[in-house]
Amino acid sequence: MGLNDVILLETMLEQDRRRSAPNMDPTQHHTFFVAKHYLRQNFSLGHDDLLSGIVDGEGDCGIDAIHLFANSMCVRDDTPLGMLGRRTRLELVITQTKNTAGFTEPPIDKLLVSLPKLLTFGRDEATLAQSANPRLIEVTRRFLETYRALELPELQINVVFAALRAQEVHPGIQRKAKELEHCLSQLFAACEPQVRFLGAVEISNLARHATSITRKLILAENPISTDMEGGYVAVVRLADYEKFITGRSGELDSPLFEANVRDYEGETAVNQSIQDTLEQPDPAEDFWWLNNGVTIVAEKVQPANKMLELKSPQIVNGLQTSWEIYKRRSSNSSTDRRSVLVKVIEAQDNAARERIIRATNSQTAFGPSTLRATDQVQRHIEEYLGSKGLYYERRRRYYFNQGMPVDKIVSIDQMGQAVLSILVQTPHIARSSPSKIFDPGIYEKVFAPDRELPTYYACVKILRAAGDFLVVDGGIGIVEDFQYHLAMLLGMVLTGHEQPEPRDVASLAEADFSTGVARELLRLIQAEYERANRSKRVLLLDKLAKDAFVTEHVLQRGREFLHGTTQTAAPTQRRASRHRERSKGF
């Protein structure tokens, strides 16, 4: 590797920062860039997932980013684990990025000390909180709880050291890496640890390598198509279908099923019947005679004899059948010549794709975001936010995959969290269970179809303003644990109402906010966190942020502040003036 490789990577980094993260600190962008391009090769994650794993800053224990995946799917707070079943492939990816010309021993030594403390069951989190930041503690706790909850998971831990100007790895560093791998093996006997070093060439190659979004489906016979272009019906050998739905390491490829509105339902009577049919074949009957089959939607379908090449395929119906076919891998199926019926539909237009998803799942109660994304209110929000220069992702990763600036992308989950915090005043739910916005009864409150569209824009603006303030005031590690409560109080104070109405919030769409009032409100929240800790002995911020008891008391402090009855509150007239101050940072 020569000087040119380093220069080319520096150019690539600067171009990516200007395009996808213009407001991100350059050092943080280095971590973001490396994590994005390393992870996207093998895992399914959106911009929210990617940003949630960045823990760089005070108390990072030598870790810049840490992400958890199950069957290639990013695991967050309320990710459903029940659908993963046995033999789940669980992967923890730890990343450290430095703008240096080489790799040194101290970063590895730091992880040799930190990881046994972070990745040990029964760890003392109160003691850990003295040296580790809240986000790092939460992600590693999630990993331990997920590993314990899954049945017979396969565990892989990857540690990635990236040096943006490195040319080679010294043999002494390689030996040190072996120590770290041995350390991880001692922590988890069944673990497959791997330490990897990325220099300028390796990082550049990852960035240049386009993520494959094309898959081949091998057919038993030539497909049948109608006069209408883009629709095919075919039968696929069970073994070939298994290969199609299986990931690189033998796990079920979860991203293929993101548009399916149901999770795997387990040992139901219907699924047991499918199992019995698969395990006890009747030589006089083919499997597809007895099963409704599978529906796949793709952006483009290219037939070639007994094969279909699919661009961005999604299995929109047939998850239960797919799971049972996948589970049969444990049996000897090499001589099984049976097939499954597969419908493949080319739908280049988003609206057409959504109609197919809705129609093929009409028997299922609404709930997951993939189905709600077709609602008219979601389309209207996308159009309105687009007029404000924001990209509203009704579909996960839609704009992220197009390379749009991450600070301009608003996910449907983040919108729900903003409304839950500011209008519904349940920031603890926004923090702990954002997917609840899709539950019947809650969804209608969050996404009321007759609500003024500026309300949604204002909610996101307030939530993000709260996050921006927290980054400046205390670093990225505290943002998630205070952001939702702070947004709730800002909504109250800026509208002047204890329970803001949508029209009150909508009036804030073009408002500017003051860092002064945000700082006062943050002190109120911190005081309530401390009080809750004294009464409930819950020290960890993320647990306090998810506690309804804390929300109740923060709300009361907010009401007192609003009416000028708290000791820390300034006189009403002075506060009202500060609310109107303009500040570059908020």
pLDDT at residue 366, rounded to an integer:
33
The values of phi and psi at residue 155, to 5°, are -110, 130
Which helix (H) or strand (E) element contains residue 212? none
Q: Tell me the per-residue pLDDT of 159-192, one tens digit each, with 9 for 90 and over.
A: 999 999 988 899 999 999 999 999 999 999 989 8
- Say whether pLDDT at 460 is over 70: yes
Closest to 259 measured CA to CA, from 350, 362, 370: 370
The C-alpha atoms of residue 240 and residue 218 are separated, in whole angstroms, by 6
pLDDT band at 335 (very low <50, low <70, confident <90, very high): confident
Other CB atoms within a 10 A radius of the CB of residue 317 amount to: 25
Q: DSSP character for 131?
A: T
Q: Tell me the per-residue pLDDT of 382-426, one tens digit each, with 9 for 90 and over.
A: 999 999 999 999 877 778 877 889 999 999 989 999 999 999 999
The mean pLDDT of 232-244, rounded to a whole number, is 94
pLDDT at residue 269, rounded to an integer:
81
Other CB atoms within a 10 A radius of the CB of residue 565 amount to: 9
AA identity, residue 405: P
Lowest model confidence (mean pLDDT) among 64-78, 388-402, 454-468? 388-402
pLDDT at residue 116, rounded to an integer:
97
pLDDT at residue 314, rounded to an integer:
87
The mean pLDDT of 197-217, rounded to a whole number, is 85
pLDDT at residue 367, rounded to an integer:
36
* pTM score: 0.75
Lowest model confidence (mean pLDDT) among 39-48, 60-69, 335-344? 39-48
The C-alpha atoms of residue 308 and residue 70 are separated, in whole angstroms, by 28
Share of the chain above pLDDT 70, in %: 87
**Radius of gyration of the chain measured on its C-alpha atoms:** 26
pLDDT at residue 328, rounded to an integer:
77
Q: Enter the tokens of residue 19.
A: 């395009």
- Say whether pLDDT at 44 is over 70: yes
- Are the beta carbons of 311 and 298 closer than 8 angstroms? yes
Higher-pLDDT residue of 474 and 571 is 474
User: Can you give the residue ranges of every domain in the chain?
Assistant: 3-208, 214-360, 369-579
pLDDT at residue 568, rounded to an integer:
43
Q: DSSP character for 222?
A: P
- Say whether pLDDT at 559 is over 80: yes
The mean pLDDT of 302-321, rounded to a whole number, is 89
